[in-house]
């Protein structure tokens, strides 16, 4: 009798053990198959907006109840969050809900000033903030007008990142015959450290002639001002540029693929063109504890208009002037990519989806020369990594995918040979 009892207990213990293993296995499978962005682990990303639509570019599906809004992932760079000290009330007026709102037309008329954007041929000035550092003749040095202007948001302390970009994707040798301009966008830092950084920045500017800076506080909340400065510069000093790209200093940008595969210099330059990682159907983040919080009084709409991730978007040269002029009658929003999307909605310019949904990535894509030879942006790079991967890509780009296919084709053969040796 005791033997039977011990036997039953043993079987019960084994059954519990197998059930626990099954539970662990189910959990692991769920994590592996959980929807995520290609090349980005499921735990990474920063919530900027929630609810509404989905991430159009990745077509990820989320299973949630109707009573809970889903956090969406839009990476907005620059981790610091400082109070804005320099946004003048006179330059930004009015706000309107996006096109998804049925009262879009009425709200647009009611919430924008009477100095409308109707006349896009009006005079452009440098705006409310004077230039501290400027390169007004950089565009005229190129004959004919440059094909591409790179506007790169950065901070004074990021010297190493700027030097890495100058040696890699921002090097004008990428497209020497087309005309290629690189500009770093900066505000001004305060305090003694700010004064020291300013002296170093001025020396860097004299050496490289690729820095523009205006007299506003360089902070997270002023990223929109930084981008508008770049738009203003193009409108004032380089209005005939074919295309412009705005991106950040921690990005990998395959400028060669951007120019020759997406923009195609052999074709006539497009007009009213804007593309990037399209974010469609997103709602404002109403969580007051989030640094991406959007107060209803600043943006009362339930959905944002379509915008492109601020980590990297491309537009035709004529759009720079139009966006800057539109901004003069639209209330300031600190989320730079959202704000540019609002300006585009007012101009009735709908961002164009890129031909390949994985060209523009606002997350970091795991590196391989094959993948990186067929994308335009990847996010989150240290300067040393940028140098390493850029040079590797340049030395392997002609046969990047061919080498990968050879490696994959050789693996089964190698495994089979190893197995045969082991059997003997």
Output the domain CATH number for residue 245: 3.90.550
Distance from C-alpha of 188 to C-alpha of 155, rounded to nearest angstrom: 9
Q: Please report the beta strands in 51-192, taking only residues with DSSP state E, as ranges in sequence order.
A: 71-73, 131-133, 148-153, 180-188
Expressed as residue numbers, the domain containing 119 is: 104-356
Is residue 188 situated within a structural domain? yes
Q: Quote the pLDDT of residue 48.
A: 54
Is residue 263 situated within a structural domain? yes
User: Within 13 Å and on the Cβ side, how many CA atoms surround 337?
Assistant: 33
List the structure tokens of 198. Answer: 């300013």
Is residue 134 situated within a structural domain? yes
Nearest CA-CA partner of 142 in 212, 211, 214, 237: 237
Tell me the three-class secondary structure of 159-195, residue by residue: HHHHHHHHHCCCCHHHCCCCCEEEEEEEEECCHHHHH
Residue 314 Cα distances to 179, 255, 308, 319, angstroms: 16, 11, 9, 10
Q: Quote the pLDDT of residue 42.
A: 30
Is there a contact between 354 and 275 (Cβ–Cβ < 8 Å)? yes
Nearest CA-CA partner of 95 in 247, 296, 236, 229: 296
What pTM did the predictor assign?
0.73
Is residue 410 situated within a structural domain? no
Distance from C-alpha of 89 to C-alpha of 80, rounded to nearest angstrom: 23
* Helix (H), strand (E) at residue 312: strand 307-316
Find the Cα–Cα–Cα–Cα dihedral 263, 268, 274, 275, rounded to 10°. -30
Is residue 10 situated within a structural domain? no
Please give the average pLDDT of every successive group of 10 residues along the chain, which has 424 residues: 56 71 53 37 42 36 30 30 40 35 41 47 82 94 86 97 98 90 97 96 97 96 97 96 97 96 95 96 93 92 96 98 96 96 97 94 94 96 97 87 65 51 49
**Domain total for the chain?**
1
Q: Quote the pLDDT of residue 50.
A: 47
Distance from C-alpha of 159 to C-alpha of 371, rounded to nearest angstrom: 28
Q: Quote the pLDDT of residue 1.
A: 52
Nearest CA-CA partner of 305 in 353, 338, 354: 338
Is residue 402 situated within a structural domain? no
Residue 204: how many CB atoms within 10 A of its CB?
A: 18
Distance from C-alpha of 111 to C-alpha of 95, rounded to nearest angstrom: 5
Is residue 32 situated within a structural domain? no
């Amino acid at each position: 009798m005791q033997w039977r009892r011990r036997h039953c207990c043993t079987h019960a213990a084994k059954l519990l053990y197998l059930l626990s293993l099954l539970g662990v296995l189910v959990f692991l499978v769920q994590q592996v198959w959980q929807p995520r962005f290609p090349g980005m682990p499921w735990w990474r990303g920063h919530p900027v907006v929630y609810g509404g639509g989905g991430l159009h570019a990745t077509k990820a599906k989320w299973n949630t109840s109707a009573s809970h809004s889903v956090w969406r992932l839009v990476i907005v760079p620059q981790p610091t969050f400082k109070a804005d000290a320099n946004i003048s009330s006179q330059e930004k007026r009015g706000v309107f809900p996006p096109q998804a709102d049925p009262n879009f037309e009425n709200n647009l008329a009611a919430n924008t000033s009477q100095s409308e954007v109707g006349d896009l041929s009006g005079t452009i000035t440098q705006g409310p903030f004077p230039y501290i550092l400027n390169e007004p003749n950089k565009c005229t040095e190129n004959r004919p007008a440059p094909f591409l202007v790179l506007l790169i948001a950065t901070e004074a302390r990021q010297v190493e990142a700027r030097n890495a970009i100058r040696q890699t994707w921002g090097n004008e040798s990428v497209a020497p015959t087309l005309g290629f301009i690189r500009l770093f966008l900066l505000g001004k830092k305060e305090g003694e450290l700010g004064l020291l950084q300013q002296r170093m920045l001025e020396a860097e500017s004299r050496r490289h002639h690729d820095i523009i800076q205006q007299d506003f506080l360089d902070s997270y909340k002023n990223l929109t001002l930084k981008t508008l400065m770049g738009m203003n510069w193009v409108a004032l000093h380089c209005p005939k540029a074919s295309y412009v790209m705005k991106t950040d200093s921690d990005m990998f940008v395959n400028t060669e693929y951007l120019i020759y595969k997406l923009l195609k210099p052999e074709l006539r330059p497009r007009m009213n063109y804007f593309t990037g990682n399209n974010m469609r159907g997103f709602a404002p983040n109403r969580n007051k504890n989030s640094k991406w919080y959007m107060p209803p009084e600043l943006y009362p709409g339930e959905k944002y208009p379509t915008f492109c991730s601020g980590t990297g978007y491309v537009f035709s040269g004529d759009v720079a002037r139009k966006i800057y002029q539109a901004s003069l009658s639209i209330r300031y929003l600190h989320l730079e990519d959202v704000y540019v999307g609002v300006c585009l909605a007012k101009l009735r310019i709908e961002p164009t989806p890129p031909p390949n949904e994985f060209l523009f990535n606002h997350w970091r894509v795991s590196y391989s020369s094959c993948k990186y030879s067929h994308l335009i942006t990847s996010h989150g790079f240290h300067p040393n990594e940028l140098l390493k991967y850029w040079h590797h890509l340049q030395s392997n780009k002609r046969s990047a995918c061919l080498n990968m296919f050879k490696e994959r084709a050789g693996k089964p053969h190698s495994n089979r040979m190893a197995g045969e040796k082991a059997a003997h």
